[in-house]
């Protein structure tokens, strides 16, 4: 009895010593992650490729007032409603959200290694021992005279009852589990950034197709108006020809002009249908489900005026891009995985405990004398694995270096995309302003040509040429307005979901 108590005391003391050692150690091998500092210019104009004419003061001007962030800066209720529906129903977003949920579940699995593992078991079995097994040799050596009788008794079929639980706890002396949790946390952050990246891409695609739809609808509206005006002009020219005031050549020319305008309409209608279907697909809807919501704007209504950009601190904008956040998280995970691999080079110590009941007699199964228990540490010491663990450490270090290079490349690519988007937007805004002047001048020239033709001061060819010039100017200006909106969508996407804007009156 004293021996048993002494053993129990010794075992408990050993367990306590190991626990104290684990708490005192409290270290995690491998490198600690340090967030990478992204290189950033003082302002957007500093890092600009191409002509300095596209690097104007708007890139460095502070925001006088802050309008709503993201896609709401377009001030279009229809677009806002489409964006909201896309966030709820887009299938790519749903898939990304499920991947994010999976990463969180994986993190919980990894975290479970940190605590105590407890299992319960119970069973009853009917068994018979072999009369010729290893037991027969032992009995024959102890009592050769009665070995046959003893073997006959032991080999009789009998029941065996057992029940109990066991617990184990790995002492995380070298931080293997902690580094695994750190890597899993980084994986969750990477999945969250991926979800944000998919959301950004979906919203950008919705905005892009929406503005393409509005542009082609405006082109259709203008074409119908042009056809009506051309048919009216054709009627007037025919009347003048019947009165001998002009020739049939003018009639033929105006008829060709009218046919050209009519020929443009089917292609524009096809483009409208395609843009509409692209939006319904992004929103997870069937073709035609958004027909009323995406109907052409009434009359001469257009989308809200686009804001002038007034950008803030560039480094803050670039670092909030989801792809940069994802690259940072992947680098973090790769760094933590080095610690996991290094920890595998050191011994593992696990504390185990077991308690239960065993009996061959069902009536005495729950008696205190049928109890069985054990407690104590176990040690797993890596000695020789033909270099596998060392090679794993080297592999994880190389993967961490690759992730660091990928992060720097992602940041550099982000600045190139931002510069490209800003240059394109600046150039298109200037082009759009000049096309507006051209459209107004062409309209004035057409009105003057009509008056001169009606008074017989010029022939019809002058009016026809002026009309063609004005129609082309109208189309070019409308197309440029669409490209300007798409350019702002590109700027918003490049900045990670929308720039700070100041709306000028």
Q: What is the pLDDT of residues 8-34, one digit of tens each?
A: 455 445 544 545 454 444 578 889 988
In this prediction, residue 50 carries a pLDDT of: 66
What are the backbone angles phi and psi of residue 40, rounded to the nearest 5°?
Answer: -140, 145
* CB neighbour class for 9 (10 Å; exposed up to 12, middle 13-18, buried from 19): exposed
In this prediction, residue 495 carries a pLDDT of: 81
Which segments within 90-249 are labelled E, that is strand? 117-127, 158-171
In this prediction, residue 17 carries a pLDDT of: 55
How far apart are alpha carbons 147 and 135 in whole angstroms? Answer: 10
Kindly state the tokens that stand for 215. Answer: 């542009």
CB 373 within 8 A of CB 356: yes
Angle at 12 between CA 10 and CA 17, to 5 degrees: 95
Q: Which residues contact 352 (CB under 8 A, 6 or more apart)?
A: 166, 167, 168, 374, 375, 376, 377, 378
Residue 496 CA, distance from chain mean position: 11
Q: Distance of CA 116 to CAs 40, 42, 128, 171, Å?
A: 47, 52, 36, 10
Residue 162 CA, distance from chain mean position: 52
Kindly state the tokens that stand for 32. Answer: 């600690």
How far apart are alpha carbons 217 and 301 in whole angstroms? Answer: 11
Edge-to-edge strand order for the sheet containing 158-171?
Answer: 117-127, 158-171, 348-359, 371-380
What are the backbone angles phi and psi of residue 310, rounded to the nearest 5°?
Answer: -140, 90
CB 76 within 8 A of CB 293: no
Q: List, for the chain, all residue ranges whose pLDDT scores fall below the cut of 50.
A: 1-8, 11-12, 15-16, 18, 20, 22-25, 57-68, 310-313, 499-505
How many residues in the chain? 505
Hey, CA dihedral for 362, 368, 370, 373, is it positive or negative? positive
Residue 341's CB is within 10 A of a number of other CB atoms, namely 22
Hey, CA dihedral for 479, 482, 484, 486, is it positive or negative? negative
For residue 252, which of 467, 460, 468, 470 has the smallest C-alpha distance? 460
Q: Which residues pair with 352 in a beta bridge?
A: 168, 376
Q: What is the DSSP string of 52-119?
A: GGGS-GGGTPPPSS-PPPGGGGG--HHHHHHHHHHHHH-HHHHHHHHHHHHHHHHHHHHHGGGS-EEE
Kindly state the tokens that stand for 423. Answer: 């240059």
Lookup result for tokens 């050692």? 21
CB 306 within 8 A of CB 485: yes
- Quote the DSSP letter at residue 157: -
Hey, CA dihedral for 253, 259, 262, 267, is it positive or negative? negative
CB 287 within 8 A of CB 280: yes
Domains of the chain with bracketed CATH: 2-30+46-115+169-346+358-502 (1.20.1600.10)
How far apart are alpha carbons 504 and 306 in whole angstroms? Answer: 10
How far apart are alpha carbons 153 and 364 in whole angstroms? Answer: 20
CB 354 within 8 A of CB 375: yes
In this prediction, residue 54 carries a pLDDT of: 66
Residue 66 CA, distance from chain mean position: 27
In this prediction, residue 291 carries a pLDDT of: 86
How far apart are alpha carbons 207 and 71 in whole angstroms? Answer: 8
What does R_g of the chain's alpha carbons equal in angstroms?
40
Residue 355's CB is within 10 A of a number of other CB atoms, namely 13
In this prediction, residue 71 carries a pLDDT of: 74
Task: Say what the pTM is.
Answer: 0.78
3-state secondary structure of 308: strand
How far apart are alpha carbons 432 and 482 in whole angstroms? Answer: 10
Angle at 330 between CA 326 and CA 333, to 5 degrees: 140
- Quote the DSSP letter at residue 19: H
CB 336 within 8 A of CB 33: yes
- Quote the DSSP letter at residue 174: T
Q: Which residues contact 279 (CB under 8 A, 6 or more apart)?
A: 82, 206, 209, 210, 213, 290, 294
In this prediction, residue 52 carries a pLDDT of: 64
């Amino acid at each position: 009895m004293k021996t048993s108590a002494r053993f129990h005391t010794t075992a408990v003391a050993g367990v306590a010593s190991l626990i104290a050692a684990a708490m005192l150690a409290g270290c995690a091998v491998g490198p600690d992650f340090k967030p990478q500092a992204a290189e950033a210019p003082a302002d957007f104009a500093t890092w600009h490729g191409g002509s300095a004419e596209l690097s104007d003061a708007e890139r460095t001007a502070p925001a006088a007032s802050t309008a709503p962030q993201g896609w709401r800066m377009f001030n279009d209720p229809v677009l806002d409603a489409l964006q909201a529906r896309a966030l709820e129903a887009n299938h790519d977003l749903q898939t990304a959200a499920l991947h994010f949920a999976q990463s969180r579940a994986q993190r919980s699995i990894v975290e479970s290694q940190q605590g105590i593992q407890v299992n319960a078991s119970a069973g009853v079995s009917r068994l018979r021992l072999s009369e010729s097994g290893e037991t027969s040799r032992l009995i024959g050596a102890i009592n050769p005279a009665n070995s046959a009788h003893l073997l006959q008794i032991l080999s009789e079929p009998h029941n065996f009852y057992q029940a109990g639980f066991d617990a184990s706890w790995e002492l995380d002396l070298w931080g293997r589990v902690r580094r695994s949790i750190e890597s899993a946390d980084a994986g969750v952050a990477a999945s969250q950034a991926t979800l944000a990246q998919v959301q950004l891409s979906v919203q950008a695609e919705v905005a892009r197709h929406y503005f393409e739809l509005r542009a082609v609808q405006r082109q259709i509206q203008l074409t119908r108006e042009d056809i009506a005006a051309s048919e009216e002009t054709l009627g007037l020219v025919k009347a003048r020809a019947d009165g001998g005031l002009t020739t049939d050549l003018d009639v033929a020319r105006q008829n060709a002009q009218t046919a050209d305008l009519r020929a443009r309409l089917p292609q524009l209608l096809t483009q409208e249908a395609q843009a509409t279907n692209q939006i319904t697909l992004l929103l997870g809807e069937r073709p035609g489900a958004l027909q009323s919501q995406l109907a052409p704007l009434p009359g001469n209504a257009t989308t809200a005026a686009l804001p002038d950009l007034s950008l803030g601190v560039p480094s803050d904008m670039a670092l909030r891009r989801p792809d940069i956040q994802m690259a940072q998280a992947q680098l973090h995970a790769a760094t933590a995985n080095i610690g996991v691999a290094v920890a595998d080079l050191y011994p593992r110590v696990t504390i185990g405990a077991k308690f239960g009941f065993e009996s061959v007699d069902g009536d005495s199964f729950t008696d205190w004398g049928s109890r069985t228990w054990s407690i104590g540490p176990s040690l797993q010491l890596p000695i020789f694995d033909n270099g596998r663990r060392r090679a794993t450490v080297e592999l994880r270090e190389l993967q961490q270096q690759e992730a660091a290079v990928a992060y720097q490349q992602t940041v550099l690519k982000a600045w190139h995309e931002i510069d490209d988007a800003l240059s394109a937007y600046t150039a298109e805004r200037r082009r759009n302003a000049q096309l507006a002047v051209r459209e107004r001048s062409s309209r004035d020239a057409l009105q003057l040509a009509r008056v001169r033709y009606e008074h017989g001061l010029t022939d019809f060819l002058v009016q026809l040429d002026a009309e063609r010039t004005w129609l082309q100017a109208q189309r070019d200006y409308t197309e440029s307005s669409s490209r300007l909106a798409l350019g702002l969508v590109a700027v918003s996407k490049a900045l990670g979901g929308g720039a700070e804007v100041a709306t000028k009156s």
